[in-house]
Structure 1
Amino acid sequence: MIASRQKMLAIVCGGGPAPGINSVISSVTIEARKNGWEVLGIYDGFAHLCKGIKNVVPLTIDMVSRIHYDGGSMLRMSRANPTKAEESLRKAVETLLDLGVTHLVTIGGDDTAYSAFKISEYATQQLGMSLQVVHVPKTIDNDLPLPEGVPTFGFETARALGAQLVSNLMEDARTTGRWYFAIAMGRTAGHLALGIGKSASATLTIIPEAFGTGQIRLQNLVDLLTASIIKRLALKRDYGVAVVAEGIVEKIAPEDLKNLEAHCFDEHGHIRYAELNFPELLKQAVMKNLCDLGVKMTIVGKEIGYELRCAPPNAYDIEYTRNLGYAAFDFLRNGGSDALITIQNNRITPISFAEILDMQTKKTKVRMVNIHSIQYQIAKEYMVFLEKDDLDDSMKLKALAAVTKLSEGDLVKRFAAVAL
């Protein structure tokens, strides 16, 4: 009788950090070890695997028993993309199999989920080997295709800390008479920006979903912000904070960003927002707008994101990630594979990779903010935008025009397009 193959579970962390990664690592490792499985931690995401390098560490219960309180990732991580070239994918799969790995837990966002799917597919279809894979959805962007109301882990911690930072900026703005443009992380969707802006009672929050499916011109965004500043001044408030989702950049017409250099894009083809310096670009454009209108205002651009990613997880995310780690192992132990793990209505609910893939792009679907939801409608109710009523009401229009050097008629012509 042939002895059964020793079960070896590997853990890979891909993409950017998020609060709670260590808690998942801890939970998965403890459950696997309790059941007699070996556990390997893979350092630096797929970076070494893609090159056929075995940079790993055996994980034990003692090593991980208290790391759930820590931010960051004990295994570090990277955005290395094993699907970028067939050779990289082959080396990643062969290296895992050569290490004796029978089961793989990936922790990451949409790109890592897609990489996990391709690794499992390659092992089965090209090498005829079984490699059971489960993905734990991680991103402070909250944009993986989970059911509405089910967050990705790390989001709640990031939102809470981001709201505290924006609240501090709001008080500084009030005290000093200035505006802040806080650009919040969120590569495509506006979940984090909206969560931060609503929780901190920011003056307004701008997310890409609010502009529909088409492209927008940079000048439209600039006019929208300019109009809000003018309205606040007309209300005798010379300060404010605008939270802007960085994903808005992906909606701006390419000709408005034509000077982007190659280093502004990562291995998955996404814009590196830190390289773009979007806060400064937006600040300068609005300052020029205001200057042309005869309005004096100090504006400070701030990025909010890197401060959030490696924060220690809050109680919600610790409990959530321990649950997800347990659920991921339970799924594999019971023969499951090729799925993203979720917990819905207090039940472990896997979602197959096939369900979360966009069949046209062959990439993972992205969950956008539902702008028709009551949560968004309430958030918008408390934002300060220029409204059509402001331009139709003679008293309000007079107050707005008095802030600028425009006549009332010229002000209507200038900003009617961005009045909501």
Structure 2
Amino acid sequence: MKKAIAILTGGGPAPGMNSVVGSVAKTFLQKGYQVIGLHEGYSGLFDPTPRTTEIDFLLADDIFNRGGSFLKMSRFKPTDKNFAEDFNLDFFVNNNIVLLVTVGGDDTASTANRVAKFLAEKNYPIANIHVPKTIDNDLPLPNNTPTFGYQSAQEQGTSIARTVYTDARTSENWFIVAAMGRSAGHLAFGIGAACHYPMIVIPEMFNRTEITVEKIVNMVISSIIKRKMMGMNYGAAIISEGVFHSLSDEEIKKSGVTFSYDDHGHPELGKVSKAHIFNEMIENKLKELGIKVKSRPVEIGYEVRCQTPIAYDLEYCSLLGMGVYKLFEAGDTGCMVYVSQAGTVEPIYLKDLQDKNGKIPPRLVDIDSTRVQMVLDNILNYVTEEDYERARIFVKNPEAYDLANILEWK
């Protein structure tokens, strides 16, 4: 029987999913392997009758440059009981599968780590290689290398945010934009910096103080006041949804939002409009202060996940796909494929990234980096100590809207 590989995609979509799957398939098919696509993420590994599709070269070529994922995705998280009782080894044995390729983000990578350890403990002769994706850009790849999908999502998000900013300037309104990013603010920061938004709010900015609803609101108000002092009655603020993820239960209650939670224990932020919530709170505070500003909410979320990948990700995902074969041929397993900016392929072992709970911690925005500090110092508009006297025209206590005071950076 011909040797085979299996591929699954987990978590949420990101531009380049099909590009990776197509590249992996084309590479292995040309080396004489059969390629089996496993639908519904990890759930297929614990199902006695998994839903599969054999991927031939024609199918791989057809899906390569499309958005979305041909292989249906799932956020299924197997329990220890699933591993002990439901792991479908027969699927691997009956199909002569020698390699499992998993494509996903931090949760998928953490589960891939569990699969790799499980296979090793049971002495099952099946290699496992993970391909890191996420539009959140929060997997800890070396040298600040992006995860695939991020560049395409930032491009689409920037297109939306740029149009929104043009509307703000044209109508002399403010827009409150929320962007995806569960644990880290890479996407919101990247979009905001590209569009010269006068206020960007990401979790990493609260490195010296607790995140609260009041502080988030006051940061946006600070920018509104500063722009008014500059003679500008318009603007836009972009807020990472990750600030919700970092709020305490008490602070979440203050926001008035009740979340449901996914299989990994994360609040299902996609079910609510964070932009609408923030906009309501900001409007209420502006009314209380007597500052006349029209503001509108805009959500940048699902719109960027399934777009057609840009050239960067098409090439990057091709290298990742081919890199899977290179690592497999070298005998590597239990690792992520890493392609450097120079195009070299190396394994990153999941066991070396995990914390004491077996989870892979997210890569955060380096708030102290020169790149970030230049944006904070030169693009954002906010109240500083030098503005206090002029700011009193709008508020009695301008020091409460001084960004350095809000974030306790002084």
Mark yes or no: TM-score above 0.5.
yes
2:160 is aligned with 1:165: yes
Could you state the TM-score of these two structures normalised by the residue count of structure 2? Answer: 0.93
- 1:318-397 superposed matches below 5 A: 318-344=314-340, 345-359=342-356, 361-380=357-376, 381-391=378-388, 397=389
CA distance in 2, matches of 1:52, 1:314: 38
1:278 and 1:301 map into 2 onto residues whose CA distance is: 9
Q: Stretches of 4+ moved more than 4 A in 1? A: 413-416
**Residues 214 and 358 from structure 1, CA distance in 2 versus in 1: closer, same or farther, beyond 3 angstroms?**
farther
How far apart in 1 are the matches of 2:90 and 2:229? 64
Which of 106, 117, 122 pairs up with 1:121?
Answer: 117
Unpaired segments ≥5 residues, structure 1 = 392-396
State how far apart, in whole Å, the 2-side matches of 1:293 and 1:260 are: 24
SS at match of 2:143: coil
Q: Which residue of 1 aligns with 2:241?
A: 246
What CA deviation, in whole Å up to 9, does each residue of 1:181-212 have, x standing for no partner?
11111110111111111111222211111111
Q: Which amino acid aligns with 1:10?
A: A
1:53–1:95 contact (8 Å) kept in structure 2: no
The 1:65–1:297 alpha-carbon spacing in structure 2 relative to 1, beyond 3 Å, is: same
Distance 1:35 1:415 in 2: 61
User: Does the 8 Å CA contact 2:385/2:402 hold for their aligned counterparts?
Assistant: no
Evaluate the alpha carbon distance shift between residue 85 and residue 63 of structure 1 in structure 2; reply closer, same or farther with a 3 A threshold: same
- What is the rounded CA distance, in whole Å, between the counterparts of 1:350 and 1:414 in structure 2? 47
> Is it true that 1:79 corresponds to 2:66 in the alignment?
no
For residues 139 and 341 of structure 1, the distance between their equivalents in structure 2, rounded to whole angstroms, comes to 14
Q: CA deviation at 1:95?
A: 5.3
Work out whether residues 11 and 75 of structure 2, in 8 Å CA contact, stay in contact via their aligned partners in 1.
yes
Provide the C-alpha distance between the structure 2 equivalents of 1:108 and 1:316, rounded to a whole number of angstroms. Answer: 18
Report the CA distance shift for 1:413/1:318 in structure 2 as closer, same or farther (over 3 A). Answer: closer
Partners in 2 of 1:90 and 1:170 — Cα distance? 54
Q: What is the deviation of 1:414?
A: 6.5
Change (3 A) 1:320 1:231: same
Q: Does 1:312 align with 2:308?
A: yes
> Would the alpha carbon gap of residues 26 and 238 (structure 1) be closer, same or farther in structure 2, given more than 3 Å must change?
same
CA apart distance, 1:90? 4.7
Q: What residue number does 1:401 align with? A: 392
Does residue 139 in structure 1 map to residue 146 in structure 2? Answer: no
TM-score (norm 1): 0.91
- Aligned-partner residue type, residue 388 of structure 1: E
Please give the alpha-carbon distance, in whole angstroms, between the structure 2 residues aligned to 1:374 and 1:275: 35
Alpha-carbon distance in structure 2 between the residues aligned to 1:85 and 1:177:
56
The residue type equivalent to 1:389 in the other structure is E
**Post-superposition CA distance 1:99-154 (Å, at most 9, x none):** 532211101001111111111221231x3312200000101110001013311011
Aligned pairs (5 A) from 1:10-49? 10-49=6-45
Q: How many residue pairs are counted as aligned between the two chains? A: 402
- Mapped partners of 2:84, 2:136: distance in 1: 26
Say if 2:382 and 2:402, in contact at 8 Å, map to a contact too. no
Rounded to whole Å, the distance in 2 between the matches of 1:170 and 1:96 is 52
Distance 1:53 1:89, change over 3 A: farther
Provide the rounded CA distance (Å) in 1 between the counterparts of 2:223 and 2:124.
59
Q: Is the CA contact 1:93–1:119 (under 8 Å) kept in the aligned structure 2?
A: no
Check if 1:418 corresponds to 2:409.
no
Aligned equivalents of 2:266 and 2:25: distance in 1? 32
Counterparts of 1:175-190 in structure 2, within 5 Å, are 175-190=170-185
For 2:244 and 2:84, how far apart are their aligned partners in 1?
A: 30
Give, in angstroms, the shift of residue 89 of structure 1: 6.6
Secondary structure at the aligned position of 2:101 is classed as strand
Residues of 1 paired with 2:305 and 2:90: CA distance?
A: 29
Once the two structures are overlaid, the 10-residue window that deviates more, 252-261 or 162-171, is 252-261
Residues 315 and 301 of structure 1: CA distance in aligned 2, closer, same or farther (over 3 Å):
same
- Assess if the C-alpha contact under 8 Å between 1:104 and 1:132 holds in 2: yes
Q: Are the aligned partners of 1:218 and 1:253 in contact in 2 as well (CA < 8 Å)?
A: no
Offset of residue 382 of structure 1? 0.8
2:15 match: secondary structure: coil
Query: Equivalent residue of 1:66, what SS?
Result: helix
Match for 2:63 among 62, 67, 74? Answer: 67
Distance 1:142 1:225 in 2: 25
Measure, in 1, the Cα distance between the counterparts of 2:246 and 2:322.
Answer: 38
Q: Could you give the per-residue CA deviations for residues 354-389 of structure 1, whole angstroms, max 9, x where no partner exists?
A: 121112x32112111111212112221211122222
Residues in 2 aligned to 1:130 and 1:117: alpha-carbon distance in whole angstroms: 16
> 1:211: which partner in 2?
206
Q: CA deviation at 1:415?
A: 5.3
Unaligned runs of 5+ in 2: none
Contact 1:184/1:244 (<8 A) preserved = yes
| Counterpart in the other structure of 1:58 | 54
Which of these residues, 293, 296, 299, is aligned with residue 289 of structure 2?
293
| Worse-matched range after superposition: 286-295 or 269-278 | 269-278
The 8 Å contact of residues 327 and 346 in structure 2, kept in 1 or not, is answered as no
The match for 1:394 is: none
| Residues 13 and 294 of structure 1: CA distance in aligned 2, closer, same or farther (over 3 Å) | same
SS in 2 for 1:369: coil
Residues 9 and 37, structure 1, Cα contact 8 Å, conserved in 2: yes
Please, which moves more after superposition, 274-283 or 10-19? 274-283
Query: Are 1:123 and 1:129, in contact at CA under 8 Å, matched by a contact in 2?
Result: yes
Say whether the 8 Å CA contact 1:19–1:309 is kept in structure 2: yes
CA–CA separation in structure 1 for the residues paired with 2:374 and 2:94? 52
Amino acid of the structure 2 residue aligned with 1:242:
A
Structure 1 position 98, deviation (Å)? 4.5
Aligned match of 2:225: 230
Name the SS for the 1:163 alignment partner.
helix
| Alpha-carbon offset, residue 302 of structure 1 | 1.5
How many percent of aligned residue pairs carry the same amino acid?
32
Give, in angstroms, the shift of residue 13 of structure 1.
0.2
